[in-house]
Structure 1
């Protein structure tokens, strides 16, 4: 195992501070006759291996798990449209060729969007999508329901391209679990 700041100091800082990922990248390489590396996400759910063939992929921070040599991970400004999103202002952008592994809380569902096809999803359910998919983040209803119902914001996606969503949202689990923890009971 080799631990390094992949891409240099500035790229490591950008990935860490803006993208929510580690400053350091661990590289595992077999010595001799092969080997095996096992990785696991923090939350229970699916892990999906996606083949990168040169088409950039945008990944929600926290969904990136691992990648093979040839895949470059950088942070990408999500724009002001992500300002109020629970998931943050920055996403990860994967480029290059190889295999990337993304994880979720719950199952990962693939949605293939045709040209001009639209899909609306809670921002807490996003995992990854092709950079050919355009998106805007907005409120799910009126401002009153957005601020007081706990529904939050939704992403309005438009194809063409692939979109991966998770069937559960970590924020919902935390909201359910927190009152049940010792010291939080009435």
Structure 2
């Protein structure tokens, strides 16, 4: 059962997370608050101390987090268009860079190397590791789809991965083929196997950046 009284509105393109706190507290990504009642307190801190700051910087998240506490209404949203999904955690969840929005205040949050025998570079090498029992809210670029594996295996593009449960085995690798050949490089993919859940996003923000870059104005020379 969810810890918070919440609803997600304006789905799936411009989702807004509304929570009615009842003498509770919740951790949120900085910059995600849209509004709050004046009865709700807000405190900004660097969770995990100096080491936590360094780890969050590596994974691409804000080095600070907000703790909202008390009783009243709050609303949260990510900085880009897309969906929000709720995950009821009882164990371990790994989230990709930028996917974390909010969570129960007593959950443990750390950073884990995403895998791979060599340093490929780019998004996805480091994952946010969330452990414990409670609520986790994730954001996506595009809509969120859930994939349930039952002693199965699947390949997911790194740029479309949102999160996955810790009971899955995984490794990060390169993939070639026509698409990567045309783009002049190789993509990164996650290979998953076992039984568990994967959250994917229907759009890839890196592909979107590649799409719009040729249309951006360039600085004039001289």
TM score, norm. by length of structure 1: 0.85
Q: 1:158 and 1:106 mapped to 2: Cα distance?
A: 25
Matches within 5 A, 1:1-186: 1-16=42-57, 18-30=58-70, 34-53=71-90, 55-81=91-117, 83-84=119-120, 86-115=122-151, 117-141=152-176, 146=180, 148-149=182-183, 152-183=187-218
Q: Unpaired segments of 5 or more residues in structure 2?
A: 1-41
Count of residue correspondences: 177
Q: CA deviation at 1:12?
A: 2.4
Contact 1:81 1:136 in 2 (8 A): no
- Structure with bigger strand share is 2
Evaluate the alpha carbon distance shift between residue 89 and residue 154 of structure 1 in structure 2; reply closer, same or farther with a 3 A threshold. Answer: closer
**1:81 CA displacement:** 4.5
Specify the SS of the correspondent of 1:11: helix
SS at match of 1:49: strand
| Distance in 2 between residues matched to 1:176 and 1:3, nearest whole Å | 36
Show structure 1 runs of 5+ residues with no match: none
Paired residues of 2:116 and 2:171 also in contact (CA < 8 A): no
Q: Residue deviations 1:41-84, cap 9 Å, x none?
A: 1221110011112x100010111111122222111112334732
Distance 1:104 1:82 in 2: 27
